[in-house]
């Protein structure tokens, strides 16, 4: 099995040092999105007291030329703390802090999509938009081959792996359960997990979260996933189609509702929102992966439980549609709907912002409206 060298180090020795008292000092790890718009970075500082709120955590900086966010001649970037979590790796009283990134001139970095998302969520706060995102991912060995797959071949066809049980059906459950517990400890609003259709592919769900909280919690859940995988010596990829051929891709299905949709008779509001989304399909495809739809084009083929990237569709309990209305929602007449188009490597800030712009702010076409002066 191809795992990293560092995962083979003696963890008992590490635990000896981790148990040492900190003398009242606190380790605060700053986490941010790098220049790829997909990767996360982190660095840690010492504080002389435990921060009780995000306001107690000071701004910091980093070398943006080493994260593809600045040139070497003007490389300092600002880290602006926005949400704090407990640290499941160094334990209490230590903290993980999610940050926005600003450039030298205090303008938001190109991959800081939280900046505009937060503005939009503030505009529609009276609608109380709720989200739940289903993050699919695939475990790989350090050599890039799916974890647990035969070194020179393939496992049996898809069928027995989804929600499977048994050593011949699921690979990496230790990693999945460690991630789950770490997220709960941290305060991430993780609400479930399951093995997916392709072997070595898994999913966890985060939500319900209101407004900007959705992106914050999913990004921290991703960071924790990568850190847990680091300890086990494997890689978690969010590639929307990590294996070509007759294998499922990986998405980030997004469940959404407003207060009106959750009330009795809300199905009419759901149908109205879907109608708006149907007229703006191309815009949503462009923001549902970091490469303007190119990543999703490998996944949204109309096969393997996906819709076609070229067509918009909706239906009750239809996992081959762009938008799925759960059967229970159809029966109750209120609830939420699921947008199945976002890719696994989407930016949740971009996805949630786009949905709200279209369904709450009634935007149309490919351009977005600037509300900065409102």
Q: Is the pLDDT of residue 314 over 70?
A: yes
Dist. CA 149–CA 199, nearest whole Å? 8
pLDDT value, residue 319: 86
pLDDT value, residue 209: 98
Dist. CA 252–CA 239, nearest whole Å? 11
Read off the pLDDT of each residue in 1-18 and give the average, rounded to a whole number.
Answer: 91
User: pLDDT digit string (tens) for 331-357?
Assistant: 999 999 999 999 999 999 999 999 999
**130-140 vs 252-257, strand pairing mode:** antiparallel
pLDDT band for position 124 (50/70/90)?
very high
Q: For residue 126, what are its two tokens? A: 């009276």
Dist. CA 122–CA 373, nearest whole Å? 13
**Helix H or strand E encompassing 191:** strand 190-195
User: pLDDT digit string (tens) for 101-123?
Assistant: 999 999 999 999 999 999 999 99
> What percent of the chain has pLDDT above 70?
99
pLDDT value, residue 66: 97
pLDDT value, residue 373: 52
User: pLDDT digit string (tens) for 205-252?
Assistant: 999 999 999 999 999 999 999 999 999 999 999 999 999 999 999 999
What is the biggest distance separating any 2 CA atoms in the chain, rounded to whole angstroms? 61
With a CB cutoff of 8 Å and minimum separation 6, the contacts of 56 are none
Q: What pTM value is reported for the model?
A: 0.97
- Check if the beta carbon of residue 305 is closer than 8 Å to that of residue 296: no
With a CB cutoff of 8 Å and minimum separation 6, the contacts of 141 are 1, 2, 3, 147, 234, 235
Q: For residue 82, what are its two tokens? A: 């926005």
User: pLDDT digit string (tens) for 172-199?
Assistant: 999 999 999 999 999 999 999 999 999 9
Q: Is the pLDDT of residue 374 over 70?
A: no
Residue with tokens 């996992």: 319
Dist. CA 272–CA 326, nearest whole Å? 16
With a CB cutoff of 8 Å and minimum separation 6, the contacts of 93 are 22, 26, 50
Read off the pLDDT of each residue in 161-177 and give the average, rounded to a whole number.
Answer: 97
Read off the pLDDT of each residue in 125-146 and give the average, rounded to a whole number.
Answer: 97
**How much is the mean pLDDT over the chain?**
96
What are phi and psi for residue 161, nearest 5 degrees? -95, -30
Asked if residue 208 has a cis previous peptide bond (ω within 30° of 0), the answer is yes
With a CB cutoff of 8 Å and minimum separation 6, the contacts of 268 are none
Q: Give the total residue count for the chain.
A: 374
User: pLDDT digit string (tens) for 38-80?
Assistant: 999 999 999 999 999 999 999 999 999 999 999 888 899 999 9
Dist. CA 76–CA 146, nearest whole Å? 37
pLDDT value, residue 363: 97
């Amino acid at each position: 099995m191809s795992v990293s060298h560092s995962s083979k180090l003696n963890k008992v020795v590490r635990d000896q040092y981790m148990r040492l008292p900190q003398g009242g000092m606190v380790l605060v790890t700053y986490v941010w999105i790098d220049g790829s718009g997909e990767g996360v970075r982190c660095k840690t500082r010492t504080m002389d007291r435990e921060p009780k709120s995000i306001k107690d955590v000071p701004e910091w900086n980093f070398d943006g030329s080493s994260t593809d966010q600045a040139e070497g001649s003007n490389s300092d970037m600002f880290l602006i703390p926005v949400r704090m979590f407990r640290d499941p790796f160094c334990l209490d009283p230590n903290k993980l802090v999610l940050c926005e990134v600003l450039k030298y001139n205090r303008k938001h970095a190109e991959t800081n999509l939280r900046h505009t998302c937060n503005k939009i969520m503030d505009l529609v706060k009276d609608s109380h938009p709720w989200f739940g995102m289903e993050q699919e991912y695939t475990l790989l060995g350090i050599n890039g081959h799916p974890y647990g797959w035969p070194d020179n071949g393939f496992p049996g066809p898809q069928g027995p792996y989804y929600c499977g049980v048994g050593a011949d059906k699921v690979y990496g459950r230790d990693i999945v359960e460690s991630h789950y517990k770490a997220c709960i400890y941290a305060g991430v609003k993780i609400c479930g997990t399951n093995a997916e259709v392709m072997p070595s592919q898994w999913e966890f769900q985060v939500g319900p979260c209101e407004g900007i909280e959705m992106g914050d919690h999913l990004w921290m859940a991703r960071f924790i996933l990568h850190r847990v995988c680091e300890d086990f010596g494997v890689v978690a990829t969010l590639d929307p189609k990590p294996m070509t051929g007759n294998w499922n891709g990986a998405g980030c299905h997004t469940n959404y509702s407003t207060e009106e949709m959750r009330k009795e008779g809300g199905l009419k509001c759901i149908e109205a929102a879907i109608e708006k989304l149907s007229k703006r399909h191309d815009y949503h495809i462009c923001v549902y992966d970091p490469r303007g739809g190119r990543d999703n084009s490998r996944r949204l083929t109309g096969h393997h439980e996906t819709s076609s990237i070229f067509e918009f569709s909706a239906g009750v309990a239809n996992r081959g549609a762009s938008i799925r209305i759960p059967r229970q929602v159809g029966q109750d007449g209120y609830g939420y709907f699921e947008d199945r188009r976002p890719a696994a490597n989407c930016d949740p800030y971009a996805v949630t912002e786009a949905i709200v712009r279209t369904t709450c702010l009634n935007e149309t076409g490919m351009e977005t409206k600037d509300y900065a002066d409102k």
